[in-house]
Amino acid sequence: MSKHYFGTDGIRGRVGEPPITPDFVMRLGYAAGRVLAAKGANLPAGARPTVLIGKDPRISGYMLEAALEAGLTAAGVDALLTGPMPTPAVAYLTRALRLQAGVVISASHNPYYDNGIKFFSADGAKLPDDVEHAIEAELEKPMQVMESSKLGKAKRLDDAAGRYVEFCKSTFPNNMDLRGLKIVLDCAHGATYHVAPPVFHELGAEVIAIGNEPNGLNINLDVGSTHPQALQKAVVAHQADLGIAFDGDGDRVLMVDAEGRLLDGDQLLYIIALGLYAKGKLKGGVAGTLMTNLALEHALQKHQIPFARAKVGDRYVLELLNEKNWKLGGENSGHILTLDKHTSGDAIIAALQVLHALKQSGKTLTQMYGELVLYPQVLINVTTQSKLDLSLAPIQSVVTKAEKTLNGAGRVLLRASGTEPKIRVMVEGQDAKLVKKIAEEIAEVVKIAAG
């Protein structure tokens, strides 16, 4: 059964336009509260279910936080407010405090005028489909506010940041520190602005922070993992050893070496995998997505490390990891999951695992990723007026021809966008000119087929 509001990562849109409006978010809070109250039937007598609410610093967070709080308390559920906190911090605190659910108000790497709502279950994982379906079903019913004696209450969790900082530090070895490293942190004017600098500083690094002055309107604006140029310049200017860029809600990470070269999620995943493999601590293999660069797969094969691909989206990487009982996976966008450390993707923790691998090896960031040379990758988006059948003979014919030309030294991937009326044509291989030529040929056939 398809969902009307929930996408692959919660509910997201432009503020002021359905569904990101105060009235809808209040009803969403009420609906979620009703579902969670029913699931919390085994709580001690007199105890109410409690939901944690965190947000990133964008200006609409105040409005949506109040709306969510109103909806939850109307349903008889207590709300615990953290203020600005990274998405993975909410996942951690929900689990650590034994709460019934966590909610994050964030649109991640999107501009300030967007926002969204995503939920975590009691164990710090994204909500299962059946719970999201139950919330959507409850949304169709009218709100019936609990009688006054059964209304929920709301209060602030004043030590949320301190708890999360200590948790992040606990994922780094006690017998190791970051002394001698000069690190530039780009917090994207987002949710990591007040927690990331203390984590790395307290572990011994010299920290230079940029993108750490949110004003509600500047989140992700020319900074962070979606705009790494600011970090690249800062690393070179400060003669730092490396730089780390987070996105607005702190679940994506990219890094920059001392020369200002950018490393994507595939390269960071490779460094973490090799560090674990060297110590015999890599549990199973590594999970990527359909967009993971083929060079990573080939590089892992040289070390006899298993690799598997999931659909695009960190929730699908998580599903694949759980299915195989593996612990490490991620996307080239910088979503990296280290399930031996946390239940969700966490940019700060992923960065710490990269630094652990560096310290363990005695190598620089440049030396660690040097043997992984990513293959050229060309992505062309073809706009369509309606759903296009990718199994049509002309499309399959040109794809088959392309795969024969690449002869195992490259890949072709066609997929429909989950958010736009577009077909994404991706071709990668060792020969950049050939890859570009093939991608353009396939895109032209798809364009003709789309009419």
Report, as residue numbers or ranges, the catalytic residues. Answer: 108
Element (H, E) at 254: strand 253-257
Residue 378 is given by DSSP the state E
Which distant-in-sequence residues (6+ apart) come within 8 Å of 365 by Cβ? Answer: 241, 242, 255, 257, 258, 263, 271, 354, 358
Q: What pairs with residue 255 in β-bridges?
A: 244, 263
Neighbours of 278 (CB within 10 A): 13
* Distance, CA of 89 to CA of 104 (rounded, Å): 10
User: What element of type H or E holds 39?
Assistant: helix 22-39
Q: Where do we find the tokens 């090896």? A: 361
Q: Which residues are CB-contacts of 101 (< 8 A; sequence separation ≥ 6)?
A: 32, 36, 49, 51, 52, 94, 119, 120, 121, 122, 127
Distance (Å, whole) CA 383 – CA 446: 9
Strand 242-246 and strand 182-186: the pairing is parallel
Phi, psi of 73 (to 5 degrees): -70, -30
Closest C-alpha among 377, 381, 380, 379 to residue 432? 377
Token pair for residue 212? 């750490």
Cα distance between the two ends of the chain: 30
Task: Return the residue matching tokens 């911090």.
Answer: 89
